[in-house]
């Protein structure tokens, strides 16, 4: 899995902020990343969470990562949501590629669904 992501990181690295952001180039790169991410569907991310895919909607300038958790929806408290939102934003904003996309109007979103029907969605925000 790490090698696959490393192979995808090379085209994304070409989109570093040194150059003017290009929506079309970014779209091509994230669509390739989404195709590669399909191979990771079902893989465990941590003890409670599995990857459920990724999609890029270029027309809406949105990249959505989807995950499935075995946590009960009752565990998705306001505190839990605040912590996940902070973690998500911190991770995306630490990346030159994702933070540049966010700065240029793209939404980088994490959607989490629980086994018992709970849902949470987090949009990365860089300050």
Q: What is the pTM for the complete model shown?
A: 0.82
Give residue-wise pLDDT tens across range 57-82: 999 999 999 999 999 999 999 999 99
Query: What is the predicted pLDDT for the residue at 12?
Result: 56
Give residue-wise pLDDT tens across range 32-61: 999 999 899 999 999 999 999 999 999 999
Residue of 93, 103, 96, 106 whose CA lies nearest to 24: 106
pLDDT at 11 over 70: no
Residue of 119, 86, 126, 97 whose CA lies nearest to 15: 97
Question: Dmax over Cα atoms in the chain, in whole Å?
Answer: 45
Specify whether domain 2-123 bears CATH 1.20.120.1750: no
């Amino acid at each position: 899995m790490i090698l696959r992501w490393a192979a995808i990181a090379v085209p994304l690295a070409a989109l570093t902020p040194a150059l003017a952001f290009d929506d079309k180039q970014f779209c091509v790169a994230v669509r390739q990343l989404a195709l590669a991410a399909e191979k990771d569907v079902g893989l465990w991310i941590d003890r409670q969470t599995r990857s459920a895919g990724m999609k890029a909607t270029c027309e809406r300038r949105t990249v959505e990562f989807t995950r499935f958790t075995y946590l009960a929806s009752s565990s998705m408290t306001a505190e839990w949501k605040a912590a996940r939102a902070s973690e998500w934003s911190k991770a995306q904003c630490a990346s030159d590629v994702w933070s540049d996309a966010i700065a240029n109007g793209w939404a980088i979103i994490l959607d989490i669904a629980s086994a018992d029907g709970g849902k949470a969605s987090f949009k990365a925000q860089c300050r």
